[in-house]
Chain A
């Protein structure tokens, strides 16, 4: 059996919020996160986020990269790439650098695709003009 073989290749362990649990509160992780169950509150990771089919996230979401195939009710902010599966359903605003949407995905909210730093500068300039 493979179980008893030595020198097995091991992968980096990631946080998994399974379909058998419900998480409430502010969840902050530094590595990758997989969501298969229910999350309420806010969800933040510097790594990749994967919301699988059947998952329900009622939270503010922040991630490095994200793949969504479940339901997200809340704003999503992704530093790099956001991929939406055909099963994905988003009810909230999206902010990302790069967006990939499969046919069938549902988005109900605003979508912003700009560099956040540039936008901050722009907002500051606007403020100065007003003065």
Chain B
């Protein structure tokens, strides 16, 4: 059965027309299902957990923001076996994930959902909690450690741990690579460090790719003992040391034909 999770911001009246259009298109395609409206008190994670308790093979479609889609997928951590398929209809906000997975904005995504082109993707795990796309570290005063090597960021503006949702394009000669997409099917996670640069003296600051590492298991901790590192993952706050690894669980997601990953 199909379950449609409507993001909490869609409750506003101005989105009613769009919701109606989506519901009409979904009915035309014969993929109607049960609608669940998310609120501050009912998160995507809780909604998916209650669906999975009832049904073994549901299809959960998140309508709204990318963050909500990530939260919905992370709910499978408590279920040993599941055949849940996740879909995403991006609304209002630009979504890097949607671009990579070839999911068009709004109503047009319904057609992609109905085609049910399903791929299995890796998931990341931080202190036992799953993540599908990425998380940014709140500070650059950290060090990253694997069994064999350590990385100390010296001049970084941002550090990102990513499974998907990382795309880089060449903007200057210093950016060695033309275009890269992190794959959620390579059984590896990535660490990306970014540096701030100005194009010219009065130019805008922009983030440039500095480093890129691949790993399966890593520990992240604060450089200073008196500074505690806390990470906000969805609605959870995780404290350092952060143990990040590739999760044994995989997620099934619906993608478009022209996606940027295999």
Contact = CB atoms under 8 A, between A and B. Distances in A.
Nearest to B152: A22
Given A6-B258, A23-B150, A25-B148, A18 B180 contact: no
B176 interface: yes
B212 A21 contact: no
B182 to A, nearest CB: 7
B142 to A, nearest CB: 11
Interface in B155-203: 155-156, 169, 176-183, 190, 193, 195
Interface residues of B, number: 32
Given A18-B193, A20-B153, A2 B169 contact: yes
Given A8-B260, A11-B177, A37-B154, A18 B195 contact: yes
Contacts of A19: 155, 195, 210
Contacts of B151: 21-24
Contacts, number: 91
B169 A15 contact: no
A8 B154 CA distance: 33
Given A15-B214, A18-B211, A3 B153 contact: no
A22 B179 contact: no
A22 B223 CA distance: 14
Given A10-B179, A11-B178, A16 B211 contact: yes
Contacts of B152: 21-24
A7 B258 CA distance: 6
Most chain B CB neighbours (cut-off 10 Å) among A13, A23, A27, A38: A13
B149 interface: yes
Contacts of A20: 153-156, 193, 195, 210-211
A15 B214 CA distance: 7
A14 interface: yes
B213 interface: yes
Contacts of A101: none
Given A9-B178, A10-B260, A24 B210 contact: no
B141 to A, nearest CB: 13
A16 B191 CA distance: 10
Contacts of B102: 6
Contacts of A41: 149
A17 interface: yes
B73 interface: no
Contact of B149 (A6, A9, A25): A25
A116 interface: no
Nearest to B146: A25
Contact of A9 (B99, B179, B183, B209): B179
A13 B188 CA distance: 12
19 contacts: A8-B179, A9-B178, A10-B180, A11-B179, A17-B211, A18-B156, A18-B193, A18-B212, A20-B155, A20-B156, A20-B193, A21-B152, A21-B193, A21-B211, A23-B152, A24-B149, A34-B176, A38-B154, A41-B149
Interface of B: 99, 102, 146, 148-156, 169, 176-183, 190, 193, 195, 209-214, 258, 260
